[in-house]
Structure 1
Amino acid sequence: MYAATLGTRRYTFPDLKTLLARATPARSGDVLAGIAAGTGEERVAAQMALADLPLATFLGEAVVPYEADEVTRLILDTHDRAAFAPVSHLTVGGFRDWLLADAATTPVLTALAPGLTPEMVAAVSKLCRLQDLMVIAAKCSVITRFRNTIGLPGCLSVRLQPNHPTDDPRGIAASILDGLLLGAGDAVIGINPATDSPERTRTLLCMLEEIRERLDIPTQHCVLAHVTTTLDLIRTGTPVDLVFQSIAGTQAANRSFGIDLARLDEARDAALSLGRGTVGDNVMYFETGQGSALSANAHHGVDQQTLEARAYAVARRFSPLLVNTVVGFIGPEYLYDGKQIIRAGLEDHCCGKLLGVSMGVDVCYTNHAEADQDDMDALLALLVAAGVNFVMGVPGADDIMLGYQSTSFHDALVMRDLYGRRPAPEFEAWLARQGLLDAAARIRPGDLPQHFRALLPA
C-alpha cells in the first residue's frame, strides 16, 4: 500500500503498478484502460508518493508477475546490482535530482545503465518536466556500429524510409535516390513492405543490396518483414544486413507479434553468422510504441509508458543497432493530441537512453489525431536538442504506404543545420566523395552524380 496526503485528503494506492499509473501525466491510452488518475489532484498525490519511494522497491515488487512473464524474468534476472550500487540508496525523487546534477556525467550514466530497470526509469520520468527529460537524455551516449557509426556526439542520423503502396521497385528507387541526395540513409535504408511475402521481401532486399554495392554506400539496409520471414531468407542466402522486429513490454504482447525472446536470440545469432558488418556487429533493429500492449489486451493493468520502457529492456538484451519508438503511429486512442505525443516522445527517448539503448524516434501522427505538423516540428526540435540518435526521412513527410505523417528529408537537413549536427562520419565522407557537400560541409546537392543516374526509373 502506498499513500500521500494533499490538504485534508489522503490518497492510497494498493500496489506499485497502480501508483505508477496514477502518477503518469495524462494520456488517452491509460484512460481507455481505466487505470489513469481520476483527477489532477490524485495524479499529484501519486507523484508525491512515487517521489518518496526507494528505488530498491522495484527489485522486490514486479508490476507484471515474475512467474507469468518472461520479460519480467529478463529484467530481474539480468539486473546488475554492482552497477546499481551508486544510486541504490536513493528515492525516485532523489534519483531525479541526482540525474540532473553535474556529477551525473556521460561516463557515469553509461556505467549505471545495466543497474537500472525499466520501471525505475519510467518512474523517474513521471516526475520530470520536458526540459528535465531533455537534459537527462542529452547526457546519455549510446554508440552502435554496423557499416557506419551511429550515436556519436554531434551527429544526427536518418532512416531513409522509401515505402511504396505496391512495393514498386521504380518508386522505391526514386525515393532512395531523393533521400541520398539530401543526406538521408546513414541510420538505415529501411523499407516497410506492403505485404510480408517472402518472395517480395527477397526481391526488395536484393534491390537494396544492388544499390548499396553499386554506389558503395557505407550504410545498412533492411526490409521490415517479420523476424520469421527474415530468418527463412537468411537460410536461403538472401543478403540480410539487419533483422527487424516490433517488440513490446510483456510476454503476452510479444506473443501477439508472433515472437518470444528465444526467437529473437535465434534471429540475432543467424544475422551475426553472416558477418556482413564492417565496423561493428550490432545487427538488430526494433520498433516500439506506447499503447501496443494495451491494443493487444496484454497490459496487465500497467500504464503504457511503463510498458514502453520495459520494451527497451527487451531491446537491450540484443544489443541493437537501432531502436525507435513510432510515437504517434498507433493513434489518438493512446496518445490523443500533439501535447501527449510530444511528452511521450521525450519520455521514450530519455528512458531508452538511460537503459543503454541506441534510441531514435519516428516523430509522427495519424490523420485522425488532434495533432499537426507544427506539433511535429516542436517535438523534432526538442529531440534533436536532447541528442536523439536518429529520426525518419520520408519523402514529403507523408508515408503513402502506411498512411501517416512523419518527418521529411528536408526536416532532417533543417535540424542538422540548426543544431550543427552531422551525419555518421563514414556516411559523411561518402557524401563528400559524391560531391554532395558544399564548402561549409553542408549537404547541398548540386549536379546529379553521373553514377546515380543508373538508379533513375526507366
Structure 2
Amino acid sequence: MRLKTLLAGQVYEFHSIKEVLAKANEQKSGDVLAGLAAASDSERIAAKEVLSNLLLSDLRNNPAVPYEEDDVTRIIQDGVNERIYDKIKNWTVSDLREWLMDYATTEEDIRRVSQGLTAEMIAAVAKLMSNLDLVYAANKIRIHTHCNTTMGKRGTLSTRLQPNHTTDNVEGITASLFEGLSYGVGDAVIGLNPVNDTAASAAEILKRFDEVKNKWQIPTQICVLAHITTQMEALRQGAPTDMIFQSIAGSQKGNEAFGFTTETMKQAQEMLRKNGTGTGPNVMYFETGQGSELSSGANFGYDQVVMEARCYGYAKHFSPFMVNTVVGFIGPEYLYDSKQVIRAGLEDHFMGKLTGIPMGCDCCYTNHMMADQNDIENLTVLLASAGCTYVIGVPASDDIMLNYQTNSYHDASAVREILGLRPIREFEEWLEKLGIMENGKLTSLAGDASLFTQRKGGLG
C-alpha cells in the first residue's frame, strides 16, 4: 500500500488512509476547521493520486471506526456480500470509477457490485469524480421503495410537502398543506418538522394529516419528524403513523448524540410493522447532512464525506422508504458557500444511490451562508438530471419555522416540465381528477388552495 507520490518535483507523503481520504476531498469548510483538509490544491491532487491507486481491500480493512467499537461499522461490514467483494477487492479506487463511468456498465451491474462495497469505498470513489461524473453515474441508478405508493421509478421526480408552522397550529398547518397540494407537491410524503417535540402534539398533527389524506383520497405517506422516541410514543397512543423518522449519523457515538441506539431503531421498525398505517415494506425515513458528526465530536478524525457515506451504509440496513441529505442546513461552518453546497449535494446523492438507498435532497441554505436562491435552484436542476428521487417544497421557498431557505412549492413542477419528469403515477392521476395537472403540466387551478376549502372532500 503506497501512501506517497511525486508531483511536480515534490514528494507528498501521507501517514494513513485516513489522511489520504481527508486531503483528497474537495474543499469543505468543516474539514478546514477540523484541521483535516489539504493545505493546497497541489496537496489535494497528490492525495487524489494516492487514493486512486489504493485497493478496495485497503479501504475495507481500514474502516473509519474499528469494528469492535462501533455498531455502524459492524452493520456496514456484516452487510457486505463476500462473494461479490472477493471479485472486486483487488480493484483500485480508480478502477471502480472507470467502471462506473463506462457506458457499457448497466444499472443491474451497479446494483450487483454495490453489494460488495463499504461506505469508505463509496466515499473514496466520490472524491475522484467531477460534478458531472457524479451526475452521470448517479443517473444510471434508480432505487424503488414502497410505503403506500412506489417511489423512485425512472422518469419521476417526487416531492416532500413540508407545511411547517411556528407554533404547530393545526389550522395554519392545514392551510399550508392545502396550498402545497394545489401545486402538485406531496407525492413522496406530507412531512412536518414540529416545534413541540411531544407525543400529544405529534399525534394531533398526524391525525389531521390522516384526516386530509383519507377525506381527499390522496395516494401518499404522512410523517411528523419529531424525535424517534416521541413518534414511537404517539404510535403507542394510537396516532396514525405511516413512517417513523430519525436524523442519523455515521458512527455509533454520533447516533447516541442524536439520542437513540440501533436497538431503538429496530424497535420502531417492529412497531410500525405491527401497528403502523403504512402498507410497507419500507416504513423508515432518515435525514443526514455533511458535518453532523464533526459538530458532535463523533467523526473520529475522518472527513465529513466519509462520515456521510457511513450514514447511508447504516440507513440501508433498515430498508428505508426515503432518505435525504439536508445539504446546506448545518451552516457555513461545514459548507461555506454555494460551490461547497452544490458539490456536497451531488456527492451525497451519488453516494446514497451507489449504496442502494432511495436518495432525495433538501436543497437548502441558511442566511449566514455565501449562497442564495439561484444557487439552490441550480443544485435542484443538477440533482433532477442525476435522477434524484425527491426534493422538498415549502411556501415561497422560506421555511418560517426552521428559518432556512429551500425549494418552493412550484419549483419541482418547473423542473419536471423542463426535464420531462412526472410525479408518482397514482398521485398524478389524483391531481388530474382535481384538475390541478393535465398532461404532466400544472393547470390554471394550480396554487388555488380554495380547491380544498370550497369543495366537498373525496373523489368518488
The one-letter code matched in structure 2 to 1:124 is V
Displacement of 1:7: 2.5
Displacement of 1:85: 4.4
Kept after mapping to 2: 8 A contact 1:110/1:141: no
Whole-angstrom distance in 1 between the partners of 2:15 and 2:112? 34
The one-letter code matched in structure 1 to 2:445 is G
Kept after mapping to 2: 8 A contact 1:364/1:376: yes
1:444 equivalent to 2:443? Answer yes
1:387 corresponds in structure 2 to 387
The one-letter code matched in structure 2 to 1:305 is V
1:109 corresponds in structure 2 to 110
1:332 corresponds in structure 2 to 332
Kept after mapping to 2: 8 A contact 1:215/1:451: no
Displacement of 1:446: 2.2
1:267 corresponds in structure 2 to 268
1:162 corresponds in structure 2 to 163
Query: Any idea what SS the aligned residue of 2:442 has?
Result: coil
The one-letter code matched in structure 2 to 1:46 is A
1:80 corresponds in structure 2 to 81
Correspondences of 1:234-249 after superposition (within 5 Å): 234-249=235-250
Residue segments in structure 2 that go unaligned for 5+ positions in a row: none
Query: Any idea what SS the aligned residue of 1:409 has?
Result: coil
Correspondences of 1:26-425 after superposition (within 5 Å): 26-274=27-275, 276-278=277-279, 280-425=280-425
Whole-angstrom distance in 2 between the partners of 1:127 and 1:103? 20
The one-letter code matched in structure 2 to 1:276 is T
The one-letter code matched in structure 2 to 1:283 is V
Whole-angstrom distance in 2 between the partners of 1:86 and 1:441? 44
Whole-angstrom distance in 2 between the partners of 1:262 and 1:307? 21
Per-residue Cα deviation, 1:367-386 (whole angstroms, up to 9, x for no partner)? 00000111111111100000
Displacement of 1:451: 6.8
Kept after mapping to 2: 8 A contact 1:157/1:390: yes
**Is the alpha carbon distance of 1:39 and 1:449 closer, same or farther for their aligned partners in structure 2, counting shifts above 3 Å?**
closer
Per-residue Cα deviation, 1:71-94 (whole angstroms, up to 9, x for no partner)? 111111221122334533310011
Query: Any idea what SS the aligned residue of 1:18 has?
Result: helix
Deviates more, 1:197-206 or 1:187-196: 197-206
Residue segments in structure 1 that go unaligned for 5+ positions in a row: none
Whole-angstrom distance in 2 between the partners of 1:61 and 1:299? 15
Whole-angstrom distance in 1 between the partners of 2:444 and 2:288? 33
Deviates more, 1:266-275 or 1:400-409: 266-275
Whole-angstrom distance in 1 between the partners of 2:354 and 2:62? 21
Whole-angstrom distance in 2 between the partners of 1:381 and 1:357? 21
Whole-angstrom distance in 2 between the partners of 1:293 and 1:114? 25
The one-letter code matched in structure 2 to 1:209 is D
Per-residue Cα deviation, 1:243-272 (whole angstroms, up to 9, x for no partner)? 000001011111100111111111111111
Displacement of 1:455: 9.0
The one-letter code matched in structure 1 to 2:138 is A
Whole-angstrom distance in 1 between the partners of 2:85 and 2:131? 25
Kept after mapping to 2: 8 A contact 1:271/1:283: yes
CA RMSD of aligned residues (A): 1.6
Kept after mapping to 1: 8 A contact 2:329/2:364: yes
Whole-angstrom distance in 2 between the partners of 1:201 and 1:43? 47
Displacement of 1:360: 0.1
Q: State the TM-score, normalizing by the size of structure 1.
A: 0.96
Whole-angstrom distance in 2 between the partners of 1:68 and 1:369? 36
The one-letter code matched in structure 1 to 2:253 is A
Deviates more, 1:424-433 or 1:43-52: 424-433
Query: Any idea what SS the aligned residue of 1:325 has?
Result: strand
Identity of aligned residues (%): 47
Aligned length, in residue pairs: 454
Displacement of 1:443: 2.3
**Is the alpha carbon distance of 1:236 and 1:21 closer, same or farther for their aligned partners in structure 2, counting shifts above 3 Å?**
same
Displacement of 1:412: 0.6
Whole-angstrom distance in 2 between the partners of 1:77 and 1:110? 18
Q: State the TM-score, normalizing by the size of structure 2.
A: 0.96
Whole-angstrom distance in 2 between the partners of 1:449 and 1:302? 47
